[in-house]
Structure 1
Amino acid sequence: MSLSEALFALPQYILPHHPLSRVAQHVTRCENRVFKDALIRTFIRLYDVDMSQALEGDPGSYPSFNAFFTRALKPEARSLAAGEKTLLCPADGAVSQLGNIEDDTIFQAKGKHYSAMELLGGDADRAAAFQNGRFATIYLSPRDYHRLHMPVGGRLKQMIHVPGRLFSVNNATVNQVPRLFARNERVVCLFETEAGPMALVLVGAIFVASIETVWHGVVTPPTRAEIQCWDYSDKSLFLDASAEMGRFNMGSTIIVLFGEQAANWDAGLAAGTPVRMGQALGSLV
């Protein structure tokens, strides 16, 4: 166990996660020009953000820090991997982990696992579709592009909001906090694809002021006490591969799930590999 990681993670157990995130929501949406411009320019400098890729390259043109943080990119800034069976990476960031779902178990970090059933909100029927399937966990750092895209075309079936904590999702915390992704607040999006069911799990984190999807808008906040499910099975809502499906208003993690013998991950990917939206994450079987 790393002492520095433990010292970083342990205080998070007692922090008031949701009140701190509500403060972050107000701060990041402040439209006072002097304040938001100073915040944006400081952030660009600290995290070496490449504004040449942004559709709007002038930092002062964004009405708030959140508008800057969720900025659109120029169309040519990301190229899409070719191939009918190609699975596209849904986000910029780095691979946290990827591999096989062993029965119902997903690998988080050395010595730490969690179940697909608890990740998906505790429903055994939902989890059964991904038993012995594939998972990929992608961490978005603060400097990354924070819009999320479809790995493959799919028809939306359900969206589930699962309340929970808001631990940080950086490596230090992931290595220390058991079952972190199944404990944090999250939005589960279930799609039907040509390869069968696909889940995109948008995991919240401390200071992530909200999670939103293109079909619903802001899902959280507010944070509810109970799991809430929206059924879209009769709505015929289909999103093409690479289409934007949601965004983090501040950064976090997205987890991609496929069923058994539905997909294979690219052999060149491993924990820590940097990725960009649109590159090949793997392929459908």
Structure 2
Amino acid sequence: MSLTSRLKQQIFIKAQNVVPQHQLSRIVGKLAAAEHPIVKNAVISAFKAQYGIDMSIAEQSNALKYKSFNEFFTRALKDGVREVDQDPRSIVSPADGAISQIGTIVEGEVFQAKGQSFSVEKLIADPQLAEPFKNGQFATVYLSPKDYHRVHMPFAGTLTETLYVPGELFSVNQTTAENIPGLFARNERMVCLFDTELGRMAVVLVGAMIVAGIETVATGKVKPTGRLELNQHDLFLEKGAELGRFYLGSTAVVLFEKDKMQWDAAFGATSAVEMGKALGHSL
């Protein structure tokens, strides 16, 4: 890395601690929800051009037909675009994006990047709920701005708890993952916990700077309260069923118990993934 690149990286990281994260995200959230045609069309057009969004796979392929940027960003895909792997033993990707990291949770620590890790107990924010995953398996999937932003079930299961965890809103990308300790266990997030045929499973939807919201099928759009909020559920969801969505991009972390499943060796950091494609299988 050149001196100029390192300097830019250092400035970017330092700015994360200075920028009013929540206030900025609220402002962006209001803009993203705006339905005024001139405003929303300008924002959608600029975003689409910047990131090269492929609208041919969207259910509504005309970007300007969406009533707001939020509706455009969380757009549904055409039927058949993402087929869910039907092998009963398969565990599938919860989203389109790229693997940030994937592997084994070692003595309760989840690998983040370049020597950085975070505690699964801190990620879930409840020692009792975190206990089953302490030596299990994890996969962290990053959803970039150009990706499809709905999160789906990696494996069939019954949603038993959701836990909203307040936190910071650092940007989520490779640079911040390598330089901000415990990134995914510090940002605001929604922890979704399941009973499955493989034991306990968790899908954690992690917020980020200018992410205008997280939504789940059980809770609706999350309203940040600044305090932990645990809710009980009894909702069965098939593999591949929609679990939630991000209003602007972020990350999903999937957790399984020890000795219940294994990841396909073909997947590692930076591997591209698509929702519904097999990432691993049960043991």
Q: Distance in 1 between matches of 2:31 and 2:155?
A: 35
Give the equivalent residue in structure 1 for 2:277: 279
Give the equivalent residue in structure 1 for 2:225: 224
SS in 2 for 1:75: coil
**Deviations 1:35-86, CA, capped at 9 Å, x for gaps:** 2112111111111110000000111210000100000000121122231100
> 2:182 matched to 1:179?
yes
Q: Distance in 2 between matches of 1:38 and 1:131?
A: 47
> 2:18 matched to 1:14?
yes
Give the equivalent residue in structure 1 for 2:41: 37
Q: Distance in 1 between matches of 2:228 and 2:109?
A: 21
Q: Distance in 2 between matches of 1:25 and 1:229?
A: 24
> 2:84 matched to 1:80?
yes
Q: CA deviation at 1:263?
A: 1.2
Give the equivalent residue in structure 2 for 1:270: 268
Let me know the Cα RMSD of the aligned residues: 1.1
> 2:113 matched to 1:109?
yes
CA contact (8 A) 1:6 1:176 kept: no
**What aligned pairs does 1:60-75 form with structure 2 within 5 A after superposition?**
60-75=64-79
> 2:125 matched to 1:125?
no
Query: Aligned residues: percent identity?
Result: 47
CA contact (8 A) 1:158 1:230 kept: yes
SS in 1 for 2:22: helix
Q: Which runs of 5+ in 1 are unaligned?
A: none
**Deviations 1:112-141, CA, capped at 9 Å, x for gaps:** 1110000001x2211210021000000000
**Deviations 1:133-155, CA, capped at 9 Å, x for gaps:** 00000000000000010011100
Give the equivalent residue in structure 1 for 2:96: 92
Q: Distance in 1 between matches of 2:41 and 2:169?
A: 27
SS in 2 for 1:283: strand
Q: Distance in 2 between matches of 1:224 and 1:60?
A: 33
TM-score, normalization by structure 2: 0.96
SS in 2 for 1:95: strand
Q: Distance in 2 between matches of 1:113 and 1:77?
A: 35
| Aligned residue type for 2:173 | N
Q: Distance in 2 between matches of 1:9 and 1:97?
A: 20
Q: Distance in 2 between matches of 1:226 and 1:247?
A: 21
Indicate which of 163, 171, 190 corresponds to 2:193. 190
Give the equivalent residue in structure 2 for 1:248: 246
Q: CA deviation at 1:103?
A: 1.4
| Aligned residue type for 2:272 | P
**Deviations 1:142-192, CA, capped at 9 Å, x for gaps:** 000000100111001100000000000011111110001111000000001
**Deviations 1:89-121, CA, capped at 9 Å, x for gaps:** 000000000100001111001111110000001
Q: Distance in 2 between matches of 1:279 and 1:229?
A: 31
**Deviations 1:219-278, CA, capped at 9 Å, x for gaps:** 1x3x2222110012xx3x100000001000111000000000111111110100111101
| Aligned residue type for 2:195 | E
TM-score, normalization by structure 1: 0.96
Q: Distance in 2 between matches of 1:229 and 1:139?
A: 25
Give the equivalent residue in structure 2 for 1:200: 203
SS in 2 for 1:271: coil
| Aligned residue type for 1:91 | A
Q: Which runs of 5+ in 2 are unaligned?
A: none
Q: CA deviation at 1:5?
A: 2.5
